Amino acid sequence: MLKLTRNTILTAVGVALIGGVVVAQTTPLEPIQWDKRRLDQLDRNVRRLERAVTQRNAAGQPVLVETDPEVVVLQGRVETMDRRLSDLEDTLRRVNGEVERLTFGIDEAQRDNAALRNRLVDADRRVKAIEDAAKAEAELNGPIVANSPTGAAGTDIAAAVRLLDTDPARGERALQTVIATWPDTNQAREANSRLGDLYVSRDQRADAVRVYAAALQGWPTIHWAGETTLKLADALIATDRKTQACAALGEFQRRYSAGGTAAQRTRATQLRGRASCPTS
């Protein structure tokens, strides 16, 4: 076996043609001035090398070119680096895929959490509404018991009237509480009169008759008594109790007409006509 050294240009050309191996040199050579003489010399050397290779191949002694050990080591390192780089690229792709999956999962979890928060807020609001409704229902349907929120009949009736304007259901209950707490007082009578007005607005004429009559029990001499008497007569006519309506109008004439207004006296006359009351 013939081993060609790196010291000749012919060997370098042979390596390039046969093995495709280029040997890296650590120290750069001086640049060659390629003139006609050098090119001719290179051509002669190449031809000489070709003849030598042809002769040895014909004689059964093929020319083998051994790769420089440093090149072999370098090639091994490059292959190792290529494998490691490929492994890193695969790992990076897996990591990127995992990051994308986790990001999608986080986004989906955030959307789910937002939806759950909205549902919880809505459920809490609905539960509170149900609790408030149940509390109000229990408050409105519970038994009426004596209770003075302010400690005095006058301020209790005033508070009940204010509540009646904003919350009729609670206002009605407050008036009933005044009646239960302060019976046989002018405040209880006023509460009955105001309850009668409330029932008339609901077209509950029979209930209005009952509370108007309770307000006028004993025919009190109070400023609203005359007007309440006319309201009682009107409710009696509406419930087809004209005889009782005429009796109520007679009491108005005797007790409240003189101190009443012209409008009240005119209304009394109209009511007597509607009830077909006999003339005195």
Residue spans per domain, the chain: 1-23+37-67, 77-142, 182-275
Which pLDDT belongs to residue 190? 96
Distance CA 241, CA 235 (A): 9
Determine which of 48-52, 231-235, 275-279 has the lowest per-residue pLDDT on average: 48-52
Q: Closest by alpha carbon to 248, among 225, 223, 224? A: 225
pLDDT in tens, 150-172: 999 999 999 999 999 999 999 99
Between 34 and 80, residue with greater pLDDT: 80
**pLDDT score of 14:** 45
Query: Is the model's pLDDT at 209 over the cut of 90?
Result: yes
Q: Are 164 and 171 in contact (CB under 8 A)?
A: yes
Model pTM score: 0.54
Of 236, 250, 240, which is closest to residue 280 (Cα–Cα)? 250
- The region that residue 240 occupies, defined by phi over 0 for left and psi between -120 and 50 for alpha, beta otherwise, is left
What value does the mean pLDDT take over residues 102-126? 86
| pLDDT for residue 6 is more than 50 | no
Residue 15 banded pLDDT, cuts 50, 70, 90: very low
The predicted structure's pLDDT at residue 85: 87
Question: Residue 138: what pLDDT?
Answer: 61
4 conformational bin, left if phi > 0, alpha if psi -120 to 50, beta if neither: beta
Indicate the length of the chain as a whole number.
280
| E strand or H helix at 260 | none
Do 6 and 23 form a contact (C-beta atoms < 8 A)?
A: yes
Among the four given CATH numbers 3.30.2320.30, 3.10.129.10, 1.25.40.10, 1.10.3300.10, the one describing domain 182-275: 1.25.40.10
Residue 1: predicted pLDDT: 38
Q: Which amino acid is at 208?
A: A
- Lowest average pLDDT, out of 25-39, 79-93, 120-134, 253-267, goes to 25-39
